[in-house]
Structure 1
Amino acid sequence: HKDQLASLLKEKNEAVSQRDSLSKDNAALDELVEGLQMEVGVRYDSGFQFAIEQLKIVFPDLDEAKLGELDALNKIVDGKLVPFAPTKAT
């Protein structure tokens, strides 16, 4: 009985250790994903701003105020620009 109990305690301790290790790995991966999401957002916006700068060069007579209304997150609804509005998560 003692050997079986010792074996079960060892298995339990190994399982707890593995769980703790996996929890740390999971937290590190969550942090990495969050950082990558931020980087993707920054690059997306940077690319959009670069496209606007190209428009200004190719079409120098465009209205600066109108160009200022452009945003990478705008949507087009019924032929009009509509500002981004986050949807509620369900």
Structure 2
Amino acid sequence: MTLLELLQRIFGKDNDTSKTVAKERLRLVLVHDRSNVSPQVLESLKVDLIKVISNYMEIDESALEVSLSDEDQAVALVANIPVIKVKRTV
């Protein structure tokens, strides 16, 4: 969830209509198509990120989100990783 979405929910301007959800899904499909990254590759990347980050931090794996975003004619990998605590010793 982006900061804008959070603020919209807090102040009651949440417009999660079927149209909005469908547009977001279509946007995600187009981003995946443009980047040539299959859902399997994205899931594998998510698993690898969990393994690496777990060496340094305790994270909430069930809330971890990894996606691709199309911004300014470039594809960006976006990861939302809830950190429970930082491990002091590795």
TM-score by length of 1: 0.28
The structure in which a higher percent of residues are helix is 1
The structure in which a higher percent of residues are strand is 2
